[in-house]
């Protein structure tokens, strides 16, 4: 039988043991969060991430419209929430990395535009405000693009423009998807926007073909992108389209463009994103 003194010692030991375990658990949590957090180590990675915000702007718009249409393919509601979180995480990483005053000021503008977009995305969608949604997300995309362009101009890496342009193909894929989804609400009012994005698509492909003409791996991806360009060029005037087909095609295009962007970053640095 334990004495009162022995009980007190055992009780104190258990308290100490519990506190040690608690502190270990907190350290593990912090360590896991640090591993999961985005960390930018160089300009090319910054260009890659800043450029991804252009894509996310249109991806969120696409998912927002799909949720409003009660479309459950690929769970757009869950994907929307995930992309919103990723956007904010990317902004935090960029804010931590950027030291240049001009770029930092542009990132503040991205934050402001994001607040507007976030308020919209967290509100119930209305069909009559379809073009307003497009305008809001376009402003966010263009504001993020300006930050990406500034990072590209001030980068010392020779391939920064190629990384920027390859990253732009990601945004183009999701802009095409979003515009097709908006077609069901805004009818022909999205035509001028589609013409603009297809022109941007063509120009981006032409630039990358010249810049990466000696890169065998990049040329394979660009060949695939050329097929996507022809596909959507033919679909541009189609009166009827299948949303799932568009989503599948643009998602594959997004994956290829993202792989190309990451490949170009890793080729010039010791590690990717």
Same domain? For 238 and 108 the reply is yes
Would the pLDDT of 4 be above 80?
no
- Are 178 and 58 a contacting pair, CB within 8 Å? yes
**pLDDT of 22 above 80:** no
Note whether residue 273 is domain-resident. Answer: no
Residue 27 has pLDDT above 70, yes or no: no
Do 142 and 244 fall within a single domain? yes
165 found inside a domain: yes
Instruction: For residues 27 and 75, state if they share a domain.
Output: no
- Look at residue 3 in the predicted model and tell me its pLDDT: 59
Residues 18 and 111 in one domain: no
What confidence tier does 131 reach under pLDDT thresholds 50, 70, 90? very high
pLDDT at 8: 54
Say whether pTM exceeds 0.75: yes
- For residue 118, how many other CB atoms are within 10 A of its CB? 15
What is the domain extent for residue 3?
Answer: 1-36
Region of poorest pLDDT, from 61-65, 181-185, 217-221, 231-235: 181-185
Q: Which residues contact 55 (CB under 8 A, 6 or more apart)?
A: 167, 170, 171, 173, 174, 254
Query: For the residues 89-117, what does the mean pLDDT come to?
Result: 98
Contact at 8 Å (CB) between 59 and 170? no
Is the domain of 86 the same as that of 213? yes
The reply to whether 162 falls in a domain is yes
- Residues 76, 28, single domain; the answer is no
| Biggest distance spanned by C-alpha atoms of the chain | 89
- For position 258, what pLDDT does the model report? 97
Helix (H, G, I), strand (E, B) or coil at 214: coil
d(C-alpha 48, C-alpha 69), whole Å? 32
- Kindly state whether residues 160 and 57 are assigned to the same domain: yes
Domain count, the chain: 2
Residue range 73-88: mean pLDDT, rounded: 97
Residue 67: inside a domain, yes or no?
A: yes
Let me know whether 246 and 117 are in one domain: yes
Q: Is 76 helix (H, G, I), strand (E, B) or coil?
A: helix
Min mean pLDDT across 88-102, 135-149, 153-167 is at 153-167
Tokens 């295009």 correspond to: 253
As a whole number of angstroms, the distance between CA 129 and CA 119 comes to 14
């Amino acid at each position: 039988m334990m004495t009162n003194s022995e009980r007190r010692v055992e009780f104190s030991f258990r308290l100490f043991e519990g506190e040690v375990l608690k502190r270990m658990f907190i350290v593990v949590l912090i360590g896991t969060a640090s591993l999961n957090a985005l960390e930018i180590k160089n300009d090319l990675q910054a260009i890659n991430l800043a450029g991804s915000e252009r894509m996310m702007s249109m991806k969120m718009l696409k998912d927002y419209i799909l949720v409003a249409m009660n479309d459950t393919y690929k769970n757009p509601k869950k994907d929307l929430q995930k992309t919103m979180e990723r956007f904010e995480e990317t902004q935090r990483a960029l804010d931590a990395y950027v030291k240049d005053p001009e770029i930092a000021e542009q990132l503040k503008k991205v934050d402001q535009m994001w607040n507007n977009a976030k308020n919209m995305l967290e509100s119930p969608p209305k069909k009559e405000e379809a073009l307003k949604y497009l305008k809001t997300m376009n402003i966010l995309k263009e504001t993020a693009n300006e930050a990406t362009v500034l990072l590209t101009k001030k980068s010392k890496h020779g391939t920064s423009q190629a990384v920027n342009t390859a990253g732009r193909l990601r945004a183009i894929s999701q802009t095409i998807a979003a515009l097709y989804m908006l077609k069901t609400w805004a009818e022909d009012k999205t035509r001028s926007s589609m013409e603009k994005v297809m022109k941007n698509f063509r120009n981006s492909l032409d630039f990358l073909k010249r810049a990466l003409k000696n890169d065998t791996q990049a040329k394979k991806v660009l060949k695939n992108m050329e097929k996507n360009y022809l596909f959507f060029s033919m679909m541009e005037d189609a009166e009827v389209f299948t949303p799932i087909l568009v989503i599948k095609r643009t998602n594959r295009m997004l994956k290829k463009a993202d792989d190309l962007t990451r490949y170009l970053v890793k080729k010039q640095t010791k590690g990717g994103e």
